Amino acid sequence: MVGKMVDVDELLSFADTIVKKAVARGADEAEAFVSSDTTVECQIQGGILTTREGVDEGLGVRVVIGKSVGFASVSSLDEKQADEVISKALSLAKIAPEDPKFQQLPDPVKRGTRSGIFDETIMKVDSASLMEESAKIVQEAMQTDKRVSYVYGFSGLDYGTFGVVNSRGVGSGDKNTGIGAGIYLKAENNGEVKLGYELVVSREHRDFEGVGENLAKNVIGYLGSKPLESTFEGTVIFENKIVDELFSEFLGYSVSALAVQEKRSFFANKLGKQVASKDLTIHDDPQLHEGIKTIKCDHEGIDVLQKPIIKEGVLKNYLYTSYTAYIDNVESTGNAIRSGFQGLPRTAPINLTIRGNKNLEEMVSEVEKGVLIREYVMGLGHANIITGDFSIVAPTAFLIEKGEIKHSLNTITIAGNFFQTLKNIQAIGNDPILTQNGKIPTIAVKNLTISG
């Protein structure tokens, strides 16, 4: 336990003072974003245990003069340093070129939202307790099978608050708690190597019993793999962890109103049109009670909105910040998110949720020829997020023939197009896992190119 959490009201009071000072010193409009976050992280690798803990807090000030915007930040909540940040932001606004698309900072938008789960128990967990969790996960994995030859365990927690105030009447904030643990491991036998990872996250305090053992058993099951005999076009069942990677890579960018307005999105001019299988419905649910990123207002202080992105295959919404919303003369969807007080808000989904109705056994039984991909893939960072084209490497996969899993495979490659895969969804699983990006299930996609 590092220290007491700063209260939201305390942050809002401080932010209000900053905004008033900025306006008094010449800003036409001003905004102050303040945050205070406590983190504790523990790792164990090769018998070496390390821990890191601390508090990250600070202030970001955005000021407007005419149509010019200046922004500055500081890693402190000290009033003297805050005065210096105001001066820097004002200086930048005076020399910044005008942005003809900028209209104003946001007006308040109230929608009757709620916060996510807040568990005060997490605030009482110390680094020693977290280290025990990491050690337990590693020990479980090592004791499961002698072929487990490498293990890296980690755990962490965070809790904090943020507040945002502007000169147009916005004044809101929220608080959060989170805890997580995970493991990377390698299983090796007769020169064959298979890797795996697991990450479990929660807003509530929990133990992580079984995480190490379950992953070790899974990865051992990948040993004894065989080469793929030939390239073919078939169905790929992407495990939920991999679906999370795919959708976070492509979808958030494509439904960003900014990318649409700048004609960099594949979904430009496709609102109200069929873009996916009728079986696919995706929501952005910032009010998902257990969601890791759940917040009652976004990082511009706008109340968030639960909304469909795709409903029964039809594109229903783009995601907006106030900047892009004013351009299109619509209301912000509450999707202005910052990586911290050091930066300006960007557009991002908060909690993606997808629902399905089939278990893995049913999904496999419907595949004439294809593969099941588990654990992770490589190469998504090289995918084209505008066109959707991708070619990814899957080190842990199983061959499926006539509705049955045959054996594990050597590393294979999957090639396709993300936007076409949305249309080619064959089945959606009933196994959603909670991730940093939402609640994501396993998904089967037909007509992908599979090669060895």
pLDDT 10s digits, 149-158: 888 999 999 9
Lowest mean per-residue pLDDT among 83-87, 131-135, 172-176: 131-135
The count of domains in the chain is: 2
CA distance to 228, 238, 314, 410, per residue, from 364 (Å): 18, 11, 27, 19
Looking at residue 195, which CATH number applies to its domain? 3.30.2290.10
**pLDDT tier at 144 (50, 70, 90 boundaries)?**
very high
Look at residue 381 in the predicted model and tell me its pLDDT: 87
Which one has a higher pLDDT value, 388 or 46?
388
* Mean of pLDDT values over 212-226: 95
Structure tokens at 402: 């006539």
Domain end, chosen from 219, 240, 271, is at 219
Q: Is 1 within a domain?
A: no
* Average confidence (pLDDT) over 395-407: 96
446 and 297 within one domain:
yes
Residue 1 has pLDDT above 60, yes or no: no
Same domain membership, residue 156 and residue 25:
yes
Same domain, 252 and 389: yes
Quick one: pLDDT at residue 3?
60
Assess whether 87 and 107 both reside in one domain.
yes
Query: Within a domain: residue 148?
Result: yes
Most distant pair of Cα atoms in the chain: their distance:
73
Residue 214's pLDDT is: 94
Same domain, 169 and 242: no
* Domain shared by 67 and 153, yes or no: yes
Judging by beta carbons within 10 Å of its beta carbon (0-12, 13-18, 19+), is residue 146 exposed, middle or buried? exposed
Same domain, 338 and 423: yes
- Please report the pLDDT score of residue 444 as a whole number: 98
Give me the pLDDT at residue 357, please.
94
**The residue count for the chain:** 452
Range of the domain at 107: 8-219
User: Is 60 exceeded by the pLDDT of residue 166?
Assistant: yes
Q: Where are the alpha helices (DSSP H) in 167-296?
A: 211-220, 240-254, 257-261
> Cα-Cα-Cα-Cα dihedral of 278, 279, 283, 288, to 10°?
160
Pair of tokens at residue 444:
């089967």
CB atoms within 10 A of CB 69: 22
Distance CA 334, CA 217 (A): 42
Are the beta carbons of 158 and 176 closer than 8 angstroms?
yes
Q: Domain for residue 113, yes or no?
A: yes
Quote the pLDDT of residue 249.
87
Inside any domain, residue 3: no
The whole-number pLDDT of residue 2 equals 55
How many other CB atoms sit within 10 Å of the CB of residue 100?
7
Give residue-wise pLDDT tens across range 365-375: 999 999 999 99
